[in-house]
Structure 1
Amino acid sequence: MSIDLHCHTRYSDGSTPLEELIQLAALRGVTTFALTDHDTMAGCECALELGRGAGVTVIPGVEISAADPKRHGKAHILCYKPKKPEVLLPLLQKTTDSRHAAMLRSVDKVCRLYAIPREMILRRAEGSTNIYKQHVLQALMDAGYASEMFGEVFKKLYDSKTGIAYEKVDYPDIDTVMDAVDAAEGIAVLAHPSEYHSMDLLRELCRNHRIRGIEVYHPRNTEEDKAEMLRLAEKYDLAVTGGTDYHGFYTTKKNPVGTFTTAESEFDKLFSE
């Protein structure tokens, strides 16, 4: 089996439509993948049906954005197979609304900085549940103002401290997210702990038995952090997962689906009742 437990589509900030992701997974021999779009489960029902037709098992899920106020940072929680997904909807909708309002303000700033029609940016977001920075950069690249997705123009606009088009999105705090996942009877895994320097948060979540697994095999985890993640997984009897964090064109490291995977034994451990 080839199991990729972290994939995004055009429903959030991926460039690839769901149908094409499933086709790519099948052609690359990925037998199972998790659909984990940011703060939305809009594609899950369709993905299950399309997956059956293509001979690919789809795990319904969502990657939930969270604030980590204790460490003045943020974190992402992968929630798999919630038995009561409707419980998550108010929390996800609140984030969606905040992101949409923030990005509309950001788009207006970008259009004042560059001679580009607002509609050109919004058109790049069609098919998504929201507007993302990647849509803005794609429009700027198409218009000739940027040469790459995450280069100097991205930093100029969206650096969280100095970006001139940066607008803050309000995220629920990590405890609220974990409580919602528990109430929805979902399976929680901390995504890419290295990405947001979340190792201290990981230790806390492990001590408090709030997660069922750690995403160890991910393109942006450091070797040093991975070694500790494996020690923590063994100490707390947690599943060790892997996911490509596939975004298609909308990512810094453009890895095909199925590049980072989860061992079958760890998959069984994560989803055992």
Structure 2
Amino acid sequence: MIDLHVHSHISDGKDTIEDILKQASQMGIKVMSFVDHDTTETYALALPTAKDYNITLIPGIEISAYDFKRNRKVHVLGYNYTTTEHIDALTRPLLKRRHAHSMWQLEQIRQAGYSVNETLIQQRIEHYPLYKQHIMQALINVPYTHHDYQTLYKKLFKNNGVAAEDINYVDVYDAIRAIKQDNGKVVIAHPGQLNSYDLINDLLSEDRSSIDGIETWHYDHNEKDIYRCHELVKHFDLIETGGSDYHGTFGASYPLGFCTTTLRNFEQI
């Protein structure tokens, strides 16, 4: 089993690196990539434990980018980079913006009269950037999939909610360039979830070597999405990847290894 889309507590996942690797070992996962948002830090932290569990770990990241032509988000996966200089130069300011914005959101929520578990917040910000998931954890002690969580999340962070604003993401072209400059493979994440198909066509029409693959296998992809990904892969001779997009109880209720990458495609990564 090869799961190339896993998030840990380093970004917006609930579980620690060690807990995830222990689960992965018990489930028979042999190859994995942590793609925590906008940080290359996880790989080095996870590598010793991965070796203890006899799991091959692939350097990975998921960059929070933006398609300015269509005014929509796009997530860019970077794999197997050999350096991190250009990726870090792009994403470290992004992480700072995210943390500052999350702190602003937290203050709006406090001022709106909500009770916040300040101990949980303090424990988080002493080590890593704050995400909306951590704010929600400090507000309501139920998983992401719970009705009460979803209701409160939408009330606070969507539409006219008190914490509804978003940060400025990096340009998708800059994200791709940084990964390439660090000798990594570029894969567009879950294009069905964020409707990235037109962007993929643009990128490959402009430069066949701009991206290396598409994440075909993802829990949010239906049969039509999988077919569209297959067609793009065949036409442009790309790699197909897959992964669980695991976030523990901070995300959808799909386990590690729910979607996997085939050995043939992994070998091209």
**Which TM-score band (shorter chain)?**
over 0.9
Whether contact under 8 Å (1:40, 1:129) holds in the other structure is no
DSSP-derived class of the 1:24 partner: helix
**Aligned-pair identity (%):** 32
Deviations 1:161-218 (A, max 9, x none): 4332123211111111111111111111000101111111122233332111110100
Distance in 2 (CA, whole Å) between partners of 1:141 and 1:250 is 12
Gap runs ≥5 in structure 2: none
Residue identity matched to 2:200: L
Distance in 1 (CA, whole Å) between partners of 2:48 and 2:151 is 41
Superposition pairs of residues 11-160 of structure 1, within 5 angstroms: 11-117=10-116, 119-120=118-119, 122-123=121-122, 125=124, 129-142=128-141, 148=147, 150-159=149-158
TM (norm. structure 2) is 0.93
- What's the CA shift for 1:56? 0.6
Distance in 2 (CA, whole Å) between partners of 1:98 and 1:8 is 20
Distance in 1 (CA, whole Å) between partners of 2:120 and 2:85 is 31
Aligned residue among 183, 191, 194 for 2:189: 191
Aligned to 1:250: 250
Whether contact under 8 Å (2:116, 2:139) holds in the other structure is no
Aligned to 2:226: 226
Whether contact under 8 Å (1:138, 1:149) holds in the other structure is no
Distance in 1 (CA, whole Å) between partners of 2:126 and 2:116 is 19
Aligned to 1:174: 172
TM (norm. structure 1) is 0.91
- What's the CA shift for 1:136? 1.2
Distance in 1 (CA, whole Å) between partners of 2:76 and 2:151 is 29
Once the two structures are overlaid, the 10-residue window that deviates more, 162-171 or 121-130, is: 121-130
Deviations 1:198-239 (A, max 9, x none): 111122233332111110100112321221110010111111
Distance in 2 (CA, whole Å) between partners of 1:125 and 1:114 is 22
Distance in 2 (CA, whole Å) between partners of 1:222 and 1:128 is 38
Gap runs ≥5 in structure 1: none
Distance 1:76 1:109, change over 3 A: same
Distance in 1 (CA, whole Å) between partners of 2:193 and 2:107 is 29
Q: Does 1:202 align with 2:193?
A: no
Distance in 1 (CA, whole Å) between partners of 2:227 and 2:114 is 48
Distance 1:194 1:175, change over 3 A: same
Distance in 2 (CA, whole Å) between partners of 1:121 and 1:31 is 33
Once the two structures are overlaid, the 10-residue window that deviates more, 11-20 or 193-202, is: 193-202
